[in-house]
Amino acid sequence: MPNKGTPSRKRLSARPKRAAAKSARTPAPVGAIRRRNVAKILKAAEAVFAKKGFSGASTAEIARLADVPKPNLHYYFRTKQALYESVLDRILEMWLDAMDEIQPDADPAEALTRYLARKIELSRLKPGPSRLWAMEILAGAPHIGSFLRGRVRALVEEKSVIIHRWIGEGRIRPIDPTHLLFVIWASTQTYADFAAQIAAVLRRKRLDPSVYDSARETVTTLILNGLGLER
């Protein structure tokens, strides 16, 4: 007869089973599920928008590509416009991170070399975002006017102050900082936006790493030489 103060073997053996069953039923944290679903949706949206533009894309197609039910997509992004703006914001964050190489106390040649390398690498690894942005701009920027007048303008003004400082300190030749940035964007993003044209002229089916390496070296040399800098 078991001691009243000691649980029976049957009761003891039941506890691990109940604990195991509870562990098996424990769902993933809500935050982790949300992050995973949002990441899948944004990746799919980026691909569809880059191919078809805002007007041609549908949330149904994006949901299929993301492998999530359409109602789930609209749970996270109420409208196609909201989803589009989130995709554009993610693109801008990616470019902001690269532009962070330009800092007041940085060596101009080293900072610009790193910035140009990162921009070329983004064109190689993530051409879709650049093409989507270009498509939107060519259409007259109907959906990103606030981005351009807000965050993009503020970023250019911030980095222009740093470049003006470099000029004032005699570290680079006098140039217009805003146009320097425009030239950098154009010369690096062309390897994403016009990859098909470049591949055709170079007699290639697609651009391989050697093309991007040559582009990086050429663009960097042109920019630095124009500013009176050496690598």
Q: Is the pLDDT of residue 216 over 80?
A: yes
Spatial distance between the Cα atoms of 88 and 136, rounded to a whole number of angstroms: 10
End-to-end alpha carbon distance in the chain: 88
- The DSSP secondary-structure symbol of 69 reads -
Helices (H) and strands (E) in the chain, counts: 12, 0
- pLDDT: which is higher, 61 or 151: 61
pLDDT digits (tens, 9 = 90+) for 58-103: 999 999 999 999 999 999 999 999 999 899 888 888 888 899 999 9
pLDDT at 156: 95
Residue 184 has pLDDT above 90, yes or no: yes
Closest CA relative to residue 52, chosen from 119, 109, 110, 135: 135
Tokens describing residue 69: 């039910």
Share of residues in the chain with pLDDT > 90 (%)? 69
Look at 12 and 39; give whichever has higher pLDDT: 39
pLDDT of residue 212: 98
pLDDT exceeds cutoff 50 at 14: no
Domain 10-78 belongs to what topology? Arc Repressor Mutant, subunit A (1.10.10)
Q: What CATH homologous superfamily does 85-226 map to?
A: Tetracycline Repressor, domain 2 (1.10.357.10)
Flag whether pLDDT at 17 surpasses 50.
no
Residue 20 has pLDDT above 80, yes or no: no
pLDDT for position 198: 98
41 closest CA partner among 71, 73, 69, 70: 73
Average pLDDT over residues 121-140: 92
What does pLDDT average to over the chain? Answer: 88
Ranges of CATH 1.10.10.60 domains, the chain: 10-78
Half-sphere exposure at residue 69, Cβ-oriented, CA atoms within 13 angstroms: 3
Burial of 216 (0-12, 13-18, 19+ CB in 10 A): buried
According to the model, what pLDDT value does residue 64 have?
96
- pLDDT in the model for residue 144: 82
Query: Residue 23 — very low, low, confident or very high, per pLDDT cuts 50/70/90?
Result: very low
Return the structure tokens found at 6: 């000691």
Per-residue confidence at 19, pLDDT binned at 50, 70, 90? very low
In this predicted structure, which of 2-6, 88-92, 148-152, 195-199 has the lowest mean pLDDT? 2-6
pLDDT at 9: 46
